[in-house]
Structure 1
Amino acid sequence: MKKLSTETLLVHDGKKAHSKGAVVPPIYQNSLFTMESWDDVDKTFDDRINNYIYTRGNNPSVRIVEEKLAQIAGGDSAKLFASGMGAISASILSCIEKGSHIITVKNIYGPANNLLQTYFKPKFDIEITYVSGTDVNEFEDALQENTSLIYLESPSSVILSLQDIEAIGRLAKSNGIKTVIDNTWASPIFQKPLSLGVDLEIHSCSKYIGGHSDVVAGVVIGSKNDIDNLFTREFELFGAKVAPFEAWLLLRSLRTLKIRMEQHQKSALAIAQFLEKHPKIEKVNYPGLKSFPQYELGQKQMSGYSGLMSFQLKTNNLDEIKKFFNGLSLFQIGVSWGGHESLIYAPAISYLKELSKEQFEGMGISLGDMRISIGLESPEDLIKDLDYNLSNIS
């Protein structure tokens, strides 16, 4: 049979996963797997990466999801983690050693930046160089003899700036440097960084892959060699495994991932176009808009756009900002995104707690910056909610 389409891969779990004709694979909610004999145990431990011994290592429910995610991302292997931060931590650890140098973009996920600055930097004497990421020459100029990792997030957090993934991948490979990308925003449906030369691709499965705001998980996808190495060290030894039931929920969600992403994109584009024309809005950050400064790069390396965007209110009056923020009825207030429901968050709230004043200002974020995640509601209803509350601020 010829190579299957993404839609088909997402729906079909393979007959090997089924029990007694069940259309949905069972949940293997067990902690260990028993064996028949001494020799059986001995043989199993010779290849613990591929065998079932203990659920901290492998579990059939988890393995089904890992194989499916690897397929749709274009990787050889994948490893699920208990959270997106578990996946981020393991990926970075697998690429660095004491005294390493990391190049990354300024607007990466806040907790990932905290991990670099407050944990890896002092504990492992890590050097970190931050770049805007919009010009590949920034990465080349930042290279040092001890550079071991280029860490990307495209689009980046809050301002949604893009990096030229293919050009950076070529630069890294020519210098023997590993590349890791947080690809959560675009999902494996709309962006394929591994095909552009990235070594490891990360997703917070709590976002679009889960899609229902009921799972916390993460995944790392890459070559068999890279994932096998990560399995025996950063995954198995640190113990950040995902539970079988959560993996089963992810499997449920993957069946509708493509159609959900298409709806998120359709609704988000309509809302972004509304916002960019509104007199109370200073600017809108959404790569799907033709007015977005890097629109052409987005067209080159993404096949679509998700439901997450940010915009800046024209006011910096905190009372007016809070009035708008608190007044929305369909946008719930929450720190995550990528679920079925629409959410709003003001990045300044947490960034001002996590970063110094200088770091905050360096990210180009203001009090009036709002981040919204467009869910699966009617876009017309969401636009009415936004319009009504924007009209109430001076």
Structure 2
Amino acid sequence: MSGESGYLPQHKGFATAAIHAFQEPEQWESLAVVTPMVSSTTFKQYGPANFKKYEYGRSGNPSREVLEKCLATLDNGKYGLCWSSGLGATTGVASLFTAGDHIICGDDVYGGTNRLFRQVCSKFGLEITFVNEKEIEKNIKPNTKLIWIESLTNPTLKVMDIKATAELAHKHNVLLAVDSTFVTPYFQHPLDFGADLVIHSITKYINGHSDVIMGATITNNKEIYDKLKFLQNSMGIIPAPFDCYQVTRSLKTLALRMQQHMKNSIQVAKFLEKHPKVARVVHPGLPSHPQHDIFKRQSSGCSGIMSFYLKNATLEQSRTFLSALKIFTLAESLGGYESLAELPSVMTHASVPEDQRKVLKITDDLIRLSVGLEDIEDLISDLQQALEKI
């Protein structure tokens, strides 16, 4: 990289920023229009400990830096860091704290986050409390350092009020981290509502092609960034240059993809709401969602993620429905161009303790869909024929 021209003032729109922020040809000696991939693991130095900008691939890489800066721009943040996975990003954030510190985590979160906090972080002396949104303040203690929430939550799609939670956290001098994976920076900017950290599983919508595993943290707090940058290098939780190249390319279609994900998912949700074999549909873009008004205040739109409950269905009937799908693929993950369906109780959230799953209503009749970019008529037809098999 030859310069630091970066994000020019005229780039006001999201799609323009995703295509151009820190990716202009002038950034490179070659004037390459497509951001190059730099795979070198080490960089020549002028003298001992006298290097131009990059020293060693774990400490910094041009391809990764471009992506980190662009992601920060899209989230209205100053500082971005990419990690080897979404859980890698979560591990980095958890490592900001020391034995005896207390973290409050929302009760309805990704099963891997629950497992990491409950089974791994606790071994290193961190105290973890899982609570619903109404119980956060009464669980804050003198040693509480972080509140971690998802908005939207996974898999029951509750909408956490980011602004209210940020005000609560800061009243008690506690940091707020928001996992915004399900909504993406195209629709939501948690930093604008007071969050200290935004976390993304880049694996999902931001990459959008189901071929890269990566995570990111975004912040406006220089002190937090410097600490996380140190941890990123010290712990080695970094993505490969090729993966960074892939995601930088994927960003250029993020705006278009999210528009179509939203359009398709709303039509699927409306179809399911009217189906006699569906008990309830959970989609934040529908007026029937209990926090629909909060969602509209903090998000400009919704993604393709949604859940619904089959009416009086057993585990076996849920399996029958999922196995009958032809276009929706039965698989974990979400956010790719292809439509996916899964059963959280035995798949993504199987590691959540059974009693906690019952409280959260992650039952055997709860189906989670990631509505992709296929033709809407084909998606609805596929759901219709699978529902008929129950």
8 Å contact from structure 2 (residues 331, 340) kept in 1: yes
Q: Distance in 1 between matches of 2:364 and 2:160?
A: 25
What is the CA deviation profile of residues 347-391 of structure 1, one whole-angstrom value per residue up to 9, with x for unaligned ones? 011367413321221221110111110111011110010011112
Paired position in structure 2 for 1:58: 60
Q: Which runs of 5+ in 1 are unaligned?
A: 45-50
Q: Distance in 2 between matches of 1:168 and 1:320?
A: 39
- C-alpha spacing 1:308/1:97, structure 2 compared with 1 (3 Å): same
Q: Displacement of 1:14 after TM fit?
A: 1.8
Find the residue that maps to 2:129 and give its secondary structure: strand
8 Å contact from structure 1 (residues 280, 390) kept in 2: yes
Larger mean CA deviation between 271-280 and 309-318 belongs to: 309-318
Q: Displacement of 1:314 after TM fit?
A: 0.8
Q: Which runs of 5+ in 2 are unaligned?
A: 1-8
Paired position in structure 2 for 1:22: 32
- For 1:170-209, list aligned pairs within 5 A: 170-209=167-206
Paired position in structure 2 for 1:87: 89
Find the residue that maps to 1:279 and give its secondary structure: coil
Find the residue that maps to 1:310 and give its secondary structure: strand
Paired position in structure 1 for 2:229: 231
Paired position in structure 2 for 1:146: 143
Q: Distance in 2 between matches of 1:185 and 1:64?
A: 23
State the superposition RMSD in angstroms.
Answer: 1.5
Q: Displacement of 1:321 after TM fit?
A: 1.8
Find the residue that maps to 2:198 and give its secondary structure: strand
- C-alpha spacing 1:355/1:20, structure 2 compared with 1 (3 Å): closer
Q: Displacement of 1:164 after TM fit?
A: 0.9
- C-alpha spacing 1:353/1:305, structure 2 compared with 1 (3 Å): closer
Task: Indicate yes or no: 2:164 matched with 1:161.
Answer: no
Q: Distance in 2 between matches of 1:355 and 1:22?
A: 47
Q: Distance in 1 between matches of 2:382 and 2:154?
A: 24
Q: Percent identity?
A: 36
One-letter amino acid of the structure 2 residue matched with residue 365 of structure 1: I
Q: Displacement of 1:2 after TM fit?
A: 4.1
Task: Indicate yes or no: 2:2 matched with 1:9.
Answer: no
Q: Displacement of 1:26 after TM fit?
A: 1.4
- For 1:212-227, list aligned pairs within 5 A: 212-223=209-220, 224-227=222-225
Q: Distance in 2 between matches of 1:119 and 1:163?
A: 25
Q: Displacement of 1:43 after TM fit?
A: 6.6
Q: Displacement of 1:211 after TM fit?
A: 0.5
Q: Structure 1 runs of 4+ off > 6 angstroms?
A: none
One-letter amino acid of the structure 2 residue matched with residue 128 of structure 1: I
8 Å contact from structure 2 (residues 45, 51) kept in 1: no
Q: Distance in 1 between matches of 2:75 and 2:349?
A: 35
TM-score (norm 1): 0.93
Aligned residues: 379
8 Å contact from structure 2 (residues 332, 348) kept in 1: no
One-letter amino acid of the structure 2 residue matched with residue 78 of structure 1: G
What is the CA deviation profile of residues 42-92 of structure 1, one whole-angstrom value per residue up to 9, with x for unaligned ones? 476xxxxxx311110111011111110000101111011111110011012
Q: Displacement of 1:312 after TM fit?
A: 0.6
Q: Distance in 1 between matches of 2:65 and 2:86?
A: 17
Please, which of 361, 374, 377 is the counterpart of residue 377 of structure 1? 374
Paired position in structure 1 for 2:114: 113
Q: Distance in 1 between matches of 2:118 and 2:206?
A: 28
- C-alpha spacing 1:352/1:286, structure 2 compared with 1 (3 Å): closer
Paired position in structure 2 for 1:246: 243
Q: Displacement of 1:139 after TM fit?
A: 1.8
